[in-house]
A = this chain, B = another copy of it.
Amino acid sequence: MQDTPQVVVLRLGHRPGRDERMTTHVGLTARALGADRLVLANDAASRAETVVDITDTFGGPFDVETTNQPMARLKRWEGTIVHLTMYGLPVQDVESEIRERHRDGDPLLVVVGAEKVPWDVYDAAEYNVGVTNQPHSEVASLAVFLDHLFEGTELDRQWEDAQKRVIPQAEGKQVEEQ
Where the two chains meet, the residues of A that have a C-beta atom closer than 8 Å to any C-beta of B are 18, 21-22, 25, 28-29, 31-33, 54, 58, 86-92, 119, 122-123, 125, 127-128, 130-137, 139-144, 147-148, 152, 154-157, 159, 165-175
Contact = CB atoms under 8 A, between A and B. Distances in A.
A39 to B, nearest CB: 18
A135 B169 contact: no
Given A90-B155, A166-B133, A25 B28 contact: no
A170 B174 CA distance: 46
A18 B22 CA distance: 11
A137 B171 contact: no
A87 B147 contact: no
Contact of A174 (B87, B141, B165, B171): B87
Contacts of A88: 168-170
B21 A135 contact: no
Nearest to A145: B143
27 contacts: A18-B21, A21-B22, A25-B137, A25-B139, A28-B135, A29-B136, A29-B140, A54-B135, A58-B134, A87-B166, A87-B172, A87-B173, A87-B175, A88-B168, A90-B168, A123-B171, A128-B169, A128-B171, A130-B168, A131-B155, A133-B166, A133-B168, A134-B166, A137-B139, A139-B140, A147-B147, A148-B152
